[in-house]
Structure 1
Amino acid sequence: MDPDTMRGDGGDIYWRRRMSVLIAVLVVVAVVAWACSSGGSGPERESSAQSSPSVSPTPTVDPLLAGLRTLAMGTASPSPTPTASPKASPSERRRPGEPCSDKDLVLSLQGSGKEPIYSGDARPSFLVTLVNTGPVMCTADVGPRSMEIRITSGTDRIWSTADCVSGEGTEIKQLRRGVPYVRMLEWNRRRSSSDCRAEPPAALPGTYVAIARMGRLRSHKGVFHLR
């Protein structure tokens, strides 16, 4: 090209065109490079995100819940919880001097002889005790009608302290806690009956059973023999 043609306005137009083309090329290269970099990194990031495990934040543990879990697993022994002792209701509280309750009384009978065999004219004797196990002093009727000592042989009623009682047959006693009421009695080896015959017949030789009775209370049976 003739160098003269590069001068003047024609030369300026030429270089402007050349610069425009160069700028356009650079813009296209930059766009292509950006597209390649963003397009290529997208799948890689997605695949890496899928392949690498997600890290979840560590939850904050409540100390109370941790302690309950520990106790439930049995790795720690909980301190024993104090158990409140049951209190008697106002209706169950007894005042001193009131009649004794059956559940607070213990009735027992035992023979005084070492050998429960009575020969000849020997008379059986018995020791009867009544003990108050309640919290306060109470009263009980220990008269012969209320506290009965009965002797039987099989189904035969032989003798009873409730037979032929003169008067009311009541005897009220104050029973302090743990202090026994004691009664000693002796059987004359004769039968008794409600008609109170003047000469009751003598009991025959054989095996007999003695028992103390008081309302719903019963003592253990005492077995002995008459010869």
Structure 2
Amino acid sequence: MRGDGGDIYWRRRMSVLVAVLVVVAVVAWACSSGGSGPQRTSGAQSSPSVGATPSADPLLAGLRTLAMGTASPSPTPTPSPKAAPQERPRRPGEPCAEDDLVLSLQGGREQIYAGDSRPSFLVTLVNTGPVMCTADVGPRAMEIRITSGADRIWSTADCVSGEGSEVKELQRGVPYVRSLEWDRRRSSSDCRSTPPAALPGTYVTTVRMGKLRTDKGIFHLR
């Protein structure tokens, strides 16, 4: 009875040892099959026989399934933006666009006018557009204004007779020029016959035309 018991004991020990060796061998095979090193195979093993169907490898099948499940989805193509509609070409004789006009003022810059001398100014308007255009350069549309601090002293828009409009054709690059001499008197909208004379002091001249503004011209009366 003792001998039989000893045999059974050792047989159980050998079974456990064999199972462990089998597990180690399977793990070693799995690691060696995923390695990057070259594998040596015989010609008969590398060339399967005609008509033979290779058995499916469960390990490779599992890897393929895992790769398909974790693959990143293809990015959705972004639609190209629609092209902006082209602007209609401007036709000669149409009203000028303010972006195509350059308004400037000359004269009355840090000058002193003593006695009866009158300040004089020169206004220029240039069309930089592609074609000839028209602009209203009348005393209301193109206003020349003289101020002293917050006091509005004189303006071409005051006491204008008629419509006060004067439409001019502006060729590209050819300036429209307007000269002005101020009589040193104030102006008002009520068109008084004898407006008072402006007092000695510092004055500022600007020209306005729509949204266009010239630089300030500063001068002094003595």
TM class by shorter chain equals 0.5 to 0.7
Q: What letter is aligned with 1:101?
A: A
Distance 1:131 1:88 in 2: 28
Query: Structure 2 matches for 1:16-165, cutoff 5 A?
Result: 54-55=37-38, 89-91=86-88, 93-111=89-107, 116-165=111-160
Q: What letter is aligned with 1:205?
A: P
CA shift, 1:89, in A, is 1.5
CA shift, 1:223, in A, is 0.5
1:195 aligned onto 2:178: no
Distance 2:92 2:154 in 1: 36
Residues 108, 219 of structure 2: 8 Å contact kept:
no
Gaps of 5+ in 1: 1-45, 57-85
SS at match of 2:124: strand
Give me the CA root mean square deviation. 2.6
**TM-score (normalizing by structure 2):** 0.62
Distance 1:53 1:192 in 2: 97
CA shift, 1:55, in A, is 3.1
CA shift, 1:143, in A, is 0.8
SS at match of 1:127: strand
Residues 108, 217 of structure 2: 8 Å contact kept:
no
Distance 2:144 2:174 in 1: 21
1:225 aligned onto 2:220: yes
What does the per-residue CA deviation read over 1:130-181, in whole Å, with 9 as the maximum and x for residues that have no partner? 0111111100000111111000000100000111111211111011111100
Distance 1:225 1:53 in 2: 93
Residues 108, 205 of structure 2: 8 Å contact kept:
no
Compared CA separation, residues 174 and 127, structure 1 to 2 (3 A): same
Distance 1:109 1:89 in 2: 35
CA shift, 1:187, in A, is 0.2
**TM-score (normalizing by structure 1):** 0.61
Gaps of 5+ in 2: 1-27, 40-82
Q: What letter is aligned with 1:96?
A: P
Q: Whose radius of gyration is greater, 1 or 2?
A: 1
Residues 103, 123 of structure 2: 8 Å contact kept:
yes
Total equivalences in the alignment: 151
Identity score, percent: 73
User: Residue in 1 aligned with 2:166?
Assistant: 171
What does the per-residue CA deviation read over 1:88-120, in whole Å, with 9 as the maximum and x for residues that have no partner? 8234x211100001111111111168x611001
SS at match of 1:159: strand
